[in-house]
Amino acid sequence: MAGHNHGILHQDPALIKWNNMTTNRHKYFRWTKRTAWISFAYVILAPALLGTAGYMTEGKWEFRGKRRGDTLSEF
């Protein structure tokens, strides 16, 4: 059966090091200004901006039942 020949191919040391680094990333994480800003941007800022834009444009555009030449805006 296929897949039982482990260790025949030479393993790249850079790939092994990268795999170990990604596996143990939580052990070496530190809060810095950069990581705090990135976390804030992805967790709070981006959803807030998207939610605000969605709330402000709610019901202003209608794409269903439109034909060529009809306006999309409903306000």
pLDDT band (50, 70, 90) for residue 64: confident
| pLDDT(75) > 90 | no
**DSSP 8-state assignment for residue 10:** P
Structural domain boundaries in the chain: 32-56
Q: What's the pTM?
A: 0.57
56 or 11, higher pLDDT: 56
**Is 63:72 a contact under the CB 8 Å cutoff?**
yes
When the pLDDT of each residue in the chain is averaged and rounded to a whole number, the result is 87
**13/8 Cα distance (integer angstroms):** 15
* pLDDT, tens digit (0-9, with 9 covering 90-100), for 40-52: 999 999 999 999 9
Closest CA to 59 of 41, 69, 49, 74: 74
